[in-house]
């Protein structure tokens, strides 16, 4: 394989020619030679060393080779005849081991010594291997060259140890990892992708697109674990057997592909004393710190950047060739774009999509076609784009971006793509809609044509909501909302009435629409709601995220996994934040009752954690102030040990049930109000609500528990229980309305549960019962609960959901759940005698 002294091959290397030696027979090395030959074929006598035992091929096409879509022969760029015809000496399968700058020569593994006048380093990159135990086991491969592909194909061909389907674990959910996973799964393996970050391809995709990609890969049978950290690769007899994750999960594997990133291959240069940072440092002409040595490709660092895609390499090779043939042009750096080569999945991304100050996000989603498009505009210029599902306009956006073109004129139509936006007059979406033919379909879901929508508008439907109500256009998935709004504008001119307020600026739907569609379309996670309901922002805002989190929790109790990052601080920390950043802790005291054990535990906590204050709250319990976030789990553990659970003084949830002493002691008491209060609190604690929810039970109409300013209040009378709803102390005081009267405690509990569930299912997020009842009317509430069997049905749904909610969050935290929210990252003591301590 080595080609030692075959100097005589090819055209005689004239003595007059400078000797150019290239280290690296890869994409950049060979392209650089091609570029030089195209400018001046007589200039150099060229020798190329390649560590791989083969000719120059198109590395990026290794993915299709793995997937079985191409053969190696089809991806060769320059066959042996190219080297021969151009008088190039190819030394393949022989790795250069050192550069002797003093004598201007390189020394290869075979012992071959090659003198140079000019040296070109084009060594590419090395795959990064994460330093976990087991990384050196057989069957752990990277994805860089043809040998890696062969190893993967061999594993795929073998199958599992007992003749079943072979199992592959791919570590890394970036471009390379996903292409490897795709190939292996087409080759019949059962594939699991492990990705450290929460979003696949997070350097190229935002959360929304990453979610779509993950869903699609899962639909195709791959398992995708995000936020998963590899702890160890487990082996048997020197061969890989599985992968163990940090959380203890163990995944069996017959092959493990490590595709977590690349590192510029700089060892040769570094050892030769050429200046190296992350990559080999080059100037705009690809010259290193040694004027006789050039470098190009993934191994270099130019103006602080290292690249991992081919497009920039082509630019570098042109600049290099211009320079050595003495017409220097200079390389200016490149802007890059990415496409994923997985058949049937269209993903494109370019530029900066992190957004932020001064950036405007334009988002379009089409759930029925599985499309998500986001273009980021800053100062009237496109600075980034993320496209999923429809990437036809990727190159157009990329072009606008590279040229830095001013897009203010086409801003409105930009997101619809080039065909639409560059259509001159059609750049105005209203004009474009006006130009549609009468039978053009506006709403695909409900089959409504333009003519029908216009007729509906002319018949008096002057708002989006009225159109939705009359002809159903845009009433289902909502993707045609923009078109209907344009038709309203075109048909009515200025007379469009704005509809009911939308949930927030991220959507054209109202709270009611969103709640209804979550149930109808069985939407189960936040990114899915955003995609299906065409959110106009990539990841929502501080106002819609908590609302969606609640709506999903309410619609799918038991199934939905709470999204901590969509919670306000108090709910995330299960305590109330105070002005100095410490927290207050309020344990539940059922119905306002307590006992020596609880009081002792509270007293102990106050002393142990130096709490500066304890106070009796207006909700009949004790509030411990001044607890640091790090101490919260320990405080809770102590309170739990005395039988106390979270009082949810911090939540949009059931707060307290206030009681008075009632018939057991009070000379006026008509019923056991204390006992009923405790029963109600035991039934309702832990439930999440649209807003906070307070209950009270008074033993007689003197109403010492202030039941008539609570969300749900019970006033006991001789003949039974009066049930009151919709009261509010606070900013705007509202006395309750009487919902009805019942004879027994059981009925009182049943109606309480039913009322709460109706409120939970129908109110808007952050709407307390008082404004909710003012909005829908007391009669509506009464009617809903008066329907045959309604009270039982609502109550049953409430009790079902409570099975999952009555799980003390403090106990879970005390046991270590979400411990990162409480612990410091580390402590840093930078001054004498101090050191870094990792928590």
Q: Which does 628 bind (CB under 5 to 8 A by kind): ligand SRM, ligand FAD, other proteins, none?
A: none
Contact region for ligand SRM (CB under 6 A) — 174-182, 258-266, 460-468, 724-732? 724-732
Q: Element (H or E) spanning 703, and its range?
A: none
Establish if 809 lies at the interface with other proteins (CB under 8 A). no
Which residue in the set 15, 162, 437, 838 belongs to the binding site for other proteins (CB under 8 A)?
Answer: 838
Checking phi first, is residue 56 left (phi over 0); if not, alpha (psi -120 to 50) or beta?
beta
Binding to other proteins (CB under 8 A) within 222-251 occurs at 227, 229, 246
Q: Write down the least CB distance from residue 129 to ligand FAD, Å.
A: 15
Strand, coil or helix: what is 317?
helix
Count of chain residues binding ligand FAD (CB under 6 A): 34
The pair phi, psi for residue 613, each rounded to 5°, is -150, 145
Contact region for ligand FAD (CB under 6 A) — 51-59, 316-324, 569-577, 723-731? 51-59
Q: Which does 476 bind (CB under 5 to 8 A by kind): other proteins, ligand FAD, ligand SRM, none?
A: none
- End-to-end Cα, the chain, rounded Å: 54
Q: Write down the least CB distance from residue 618 to ligand SRM, Å.
A: 3
Instruction: Decide if 131 contacts 110 (C-beta within 8 A).
Output: no
Establish if 618 lies at the interface with ligand SRM (CB under 6 A). yes
Q: Element (H or E) spanning 825, and its range?
A: none
Which residue in the set 20, 21, 27, 171 belongs to the binding site for ligand FAD (CB under 6 A)?
Answer: 27
Measure the CA angle with vertex 559, ends 556 and 562; round to 5°: 85
Strand partners, 113: 107
Instruction: Decide if 226 contacts 245 (C-beta within 8 A).
Output: no
Establish if 516 lies at the interface with other proteins (CB under 8 A). no
Q: Write down the least CB distance from residue 539 to other proteins, Å.
A: 5
Which residue in the set 43, 95, 629, 793 belongs to the binding site for other proteins (CB under 8 A)?
Answer: 629
Q: How far is CA 30 from its chain centroid?
A: 39
Q: Which does 626 bind (CB under 5 to 8 A by kind): ligand FAD, ligand SRM, other proteins, none?
A: none
Contact region for ligand SRM (CB under 6 A) — 349-357, 511-519, 631-639, 725-733? 725-733
d(CA 446, CA 670): 58
Q: Strand 223-225 to strand 190-194: parallel, antiparallel, or no bridges (unpaired)?
A: parallel
Q: Element (H or E) spanning 590, and its range?
A: none
Q: Which does 545 bind (CB under 5 to 8 A by kind): other proteins, ligand SRM, ligand FAD, none?
A: other proteins
Q: Write down the least CB distance from residue 306 to ligand FAD, Å.
A: 10
Q: What is the DSSP string of 219-233?
A: HTT-EEE-S--EEEE
Beta-carbon count within 10 A of 557 CB = 19
Across the beta sheet with 190-194, the strand order is 140-142, 255-258, 167-171, 190-194, 223-225
Establish if 265 lies at the interface with ligand FAD (CB under 6 A). yes
Establish if 63 lies at the interface with ligand FAD (CB under 6 A). yes
Contact region for ligand SRM (CB under 6 A) — 97-105, 416-424, 613-621, 798-806? 613-621
The tokens of 96 are what? 């250069």
Which residue in the set 1, 425, 731, 826 belongs to the binding site for other proteins (CB under 8 A)?
Answer: 826
Beta-carbon count within 10 A of 454 CB = 17
Binding to other proteins (CB under 8 A) within 282-311 occurs at 304
Which residue in the set 3, 11, 13, 60 belongs to the binding site for ligand FAD (CB under 6 A)?
Answer: 60
Is 456 or 620 the residue whose CB approaches ligand SRM more closely?
620
The tokens of 830 are what? 């930078």
Establish if 730 lies at the interface with ligand SRM (CB under 6 A). yes
Establish if 49 lies at the interface with ligand FAD (CB under 6 A). yes
Task: Point out the residue whose Cβ comes nearest to ligand FAD.
Answer: 26
Establish if 530 lies at the interface with other proteins (CB under 8 A). no
> Cβ neighbours of residue 653 under 8 Å, at least 6 residues apart?
686, 687, 688, 689, 692, 693
- The answer to whether the Cα torsion of 555, 561, 564, 569 is positive or negative is positive
Q: How far is CA 213 from its chain centroid?
A: 11
> Cβ neighbours of residue 452 under 8 Å, at least 6 residues apart?
442, 471, 473
Establish if 119 lies at the interface with ligand FAD (CB under 6 A). no
Count of chain residues binding ligand SRM (CB under 6 A): 21
Establish if 129 lies at the interface with ligand FAD (CB under 6 A). no
Contacts of the segment 522-529: beta carbons below 8 A, 24+ positions apart: 523/552, 524/552, 524/556, 524/559, 524/560, 525/211, 525/552, 525/560, 525/561, 526/552, 526/563, 526/566, 527/207, 527/208, 527/211, 527/212, 528/211, 528/215
Q: Write down the least CB distance from residue 108 to ligand FAD, Å.
A: 7
Q: Which does 240 bind (CB under 5 to 8 A by kind): ligand FAD, other proteins, ligand SRM, none?
A: none
Q: Which does 511 bind (CB under 5 to 8 A by kind): ligand FAD, other proteins, ligand SRM, none?
A: none
Letters for 647-676 (x = contact with ligand SRM by CB under 6 A, - = none) are --x-----xx--------------------
Q: Where are the alpha helices (DSSP H) in 423-507?
A: 429-434, 450-458, 464-471, 481-492
Is 258 or 649 the residue whose CB approaches ligand SRM more closely?
649
d(CA 563, CA 213): 20
Which CA distances in Å does 655 have to 694, 697, 726, 805?
Answer: 5, 14, 15, 14
d(CA 186, CA 178): 12
Establish if 703 lies at the interface with ligand SRM (CB under 6 A). no
Which residue in the set 32, 65, 194, 196 belongs to the binding site for other proteins (CB under 8 A)?
Answer: 196
Burial of 676 (0-12, 13-18, 19+ CB in 10 A): buried
Q: Which does 425 bind (CB under 5 to 8 A by kind): other proteins, ligand SRM, ligand FAD, none?
A: none
Q: Which does 52 bind (CB under 5 to 8 A by kind): ligand FAD, ligand SRM, other proteins, none?
A: ligand FAD
Which residue in the set 510, 576, 594, 703 belongs to the binding site for ligand SRM (CB under 6 A)?
Answer: 576
The pair phi, psi for residue 770, each rounded to 5°, is -60, -55
Binding to ligand SRM (CB under 6 A) within 679-698 occurs at 692, 694
Q: Which does 694 bind (CB under 5 to 8 A by kind): ligand SRM, ligand FAD, other proteins, none?
A: ligand SRM
d(CA 397, CA 436): 25
Binding to other proteins (CB under 8 A) within 22-81 occurs at none
Establish if 645 lies at the interface with ligand SRM (CB under 6 A). no
Is 238 or 356 the residue whose CB approaches other proteins more closely?
356
Binding to ligand SRM (CB under 6 A) within 767-806 occurs at 768
Establish if 270 lies at the interface with other proteins (CB under 8 A). no
Which residue in the set 10, 159, 252, 619 belongs to the binding site for ligand SRM (CB under 6 A)?
Answer: 619
d(CA 77, CA 61): 11
Contact region for ligand SRM (CB under 6 A) — 117-125, 177-185, 729-737, 820-828? 729-737
The CA dihedral of 434, 436, 439, 445, to the nearest 10 degrees, is: -90
Strand partners, 384: 351, 376
The tokens of 517 are what? 């569609």
Q: Where on the chain is the footprint of ligand SRM (CB under 6 A)?
A: 576, 578, 584, 586, 615, 617-619, 621, 623, 649, 655-656, 692, 694, 709, 728-731, 768
Contact set with ligand FAD (CB under 6 A): 23-29, 49-52, 59-60, 62-63, 95-96, 122-124, 143-144, 176, 179, 265, 268, 297-298, 308-311, 313, 341
Residues within the interface to other proteins (CB under 8 A): 128, 130, 196-199, 202-203, 206-207, 227, 229, 246, 260-261, 304, 353-357, 538-542, 545-546, 564-569, 572-573, 577, 579-581, 629, 820-821, 823-831, 834, 836, 838
């Amino acid at each position: 394989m080595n080609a030692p002294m075959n100097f005589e091959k090819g055209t005689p290397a004239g003595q007059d020619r400078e000797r150019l030696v290239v280290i690296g027979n890869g994409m950049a090395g060979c392209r650089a030679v091609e570029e030089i030959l195209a400018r001046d074929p007589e200039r150099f006598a060229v020798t190329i060393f390649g560590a791989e035992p083969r000719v120059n091929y198109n590395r990026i096409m290794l993915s299709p080779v793995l997937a079985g879509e191409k053969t190696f022969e089809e991806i060769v760029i320059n066959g042996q005849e190219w080297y021969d015809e151009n008088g190039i000496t190819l030394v393949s399968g022989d790795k250069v081991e050192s550069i002797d700058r003093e004598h201007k020569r390189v020394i290869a593994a075979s012992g071959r010594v090659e003198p140079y006048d000019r040296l070109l380093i084009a060594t590419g990159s090395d795959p990064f291997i994460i330093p976990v135990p087991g990384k050196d086991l057989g069957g752990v491969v990277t994805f860089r060259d043809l040998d890696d592909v062969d190893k993967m194909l061999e594993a795929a061909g073998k199958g599992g140890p007992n003749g079943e389907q072979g199992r592959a674990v791919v570590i890394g959910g970036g471009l390379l990892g996903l292409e490897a996973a795709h190939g292996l799964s087409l080759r019949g393996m059962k594939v699991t992708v492990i990705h450290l970050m929460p979003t696949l391809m997070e350097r190229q995709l935002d959360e929304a697109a990453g979610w779509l990609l993950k869903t699609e890969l899962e639909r195709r049978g791959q398992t995708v674990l995000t936020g998963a950290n590899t702890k160890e690769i487990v082996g048997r007899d020197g061969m890989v057997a599985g992968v163990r994750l940090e959380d203890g999960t163990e995944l069996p594997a017959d092959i493990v592909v490590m595709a977590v990133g690349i590192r510029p291959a700089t060892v040769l240069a570094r050892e030769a004393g050429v200046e190296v940072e992350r990559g080999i440092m080059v100037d705009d002409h690809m010259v290193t710190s040694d004027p006789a040595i050039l470098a190009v490709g993934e191994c270099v660092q130019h103006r602080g950047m290292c690249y991992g895609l081919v497009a920039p390499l082509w630019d570098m090779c042109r600049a290099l060739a211009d320079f050595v043939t003495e017409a220097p042009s200079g390389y200016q750096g490149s802007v890059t774009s990415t496409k994923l080569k997985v058949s049937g999945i269209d993903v494109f991304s370019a530029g900066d999509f992190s957004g932020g100050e001064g950036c405007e996000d334009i988002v379009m989603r089409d759930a029925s076609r599985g499309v998500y498009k986001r273009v980021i505009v800053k100062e009237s210029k496109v600075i980034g784009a993320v496209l999923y599902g429809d990437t036809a306009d990727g190159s157009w956006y990329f072009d606008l971006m590279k040229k830095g073109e001013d897009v203010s004129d086409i801003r409105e139509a930009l997101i619809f793509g080039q065909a639409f936006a560059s259509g001159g007059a059609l750049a105005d979406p209203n004009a474009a809609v006006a130009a549609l033919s009468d039978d053009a379909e506006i709403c695909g879901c409900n089959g409504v044509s333009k003519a029908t929508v216009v007729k509906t508008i002319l018949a008096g439907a002057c708002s989006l909501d009225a159109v939705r109500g009359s002809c159903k256009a845009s009433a289902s998935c909502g993707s045609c909302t923009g078109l209907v709004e344009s038709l309203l504008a075109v048909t009515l001119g200025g007379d469009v009435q704005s509809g009911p307020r939308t949930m927030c600026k991220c959507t054209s739907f109202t709270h009611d629409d969103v709640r209804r569609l979550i149930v109808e379309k069985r939407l189960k996670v936040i990114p899915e709601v955003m995609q299906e309901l065409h959110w106009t922002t990539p990841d929502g805002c501080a106002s819609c995220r908590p609302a969606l989190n609640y709506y999903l929790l309410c619609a799918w109790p038991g199934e939905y996994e709470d999204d901590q990052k969509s919670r306000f601080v108090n709910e995330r920390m299960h305590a109330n934040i105070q002005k100095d950043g410490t927290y207050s802790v309020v344990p539940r005291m059922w119905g306002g009752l307590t006992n020596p054990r609880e009081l002792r535990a509270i007293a102990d906590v106050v002393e142990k954690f130096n709490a500066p204050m304890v106070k009796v709250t207006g909700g009949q319990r004790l509030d411990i102030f001044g607890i640091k976030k790090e101490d919260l789990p320990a405080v809770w553990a102590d309170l739990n040990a005395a039988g106390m659970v979270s009082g949810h003084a911090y939540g949009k949830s059931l707060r307290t049930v206030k009681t008075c002493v009632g018939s057991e002691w009070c000379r006026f008491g008509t019923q056991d109000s204390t006992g009923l209060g405790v029963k109600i609190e035991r039934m309702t604690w832990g439930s999440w609500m649209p807003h906070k929810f307070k209950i009270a039970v008074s033993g007689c109409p003197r109403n010492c528990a202030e039941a008539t300013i609570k969300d749900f209040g019970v006033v006991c009378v001789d003949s039974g229980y009066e049930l009151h709803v919709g009261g509010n102390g606070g900013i705007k005081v509202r006395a309750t309305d009487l919902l009805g009267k019942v004879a027994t405690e059981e009925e009182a509990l049943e109606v309480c549960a039913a009322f709460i569930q109706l409120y939970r299912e129908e109110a808007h997020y952050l709407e307390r019962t008082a404004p909710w009842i003012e909005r829908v009317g007391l009669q509506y509430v009464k009617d809903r609960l008066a329907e045959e069997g309604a009270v039982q049905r609502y109550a049953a749904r409430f009790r079902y959901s409570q099975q999952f909610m009555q799980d003390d969050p403090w106990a879970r935290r005390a046991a270590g759940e979400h411990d990162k929210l409480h612990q410091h990252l580390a402590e840093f003591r930078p001054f004498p005698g101090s050191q870094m301590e990792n928590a």
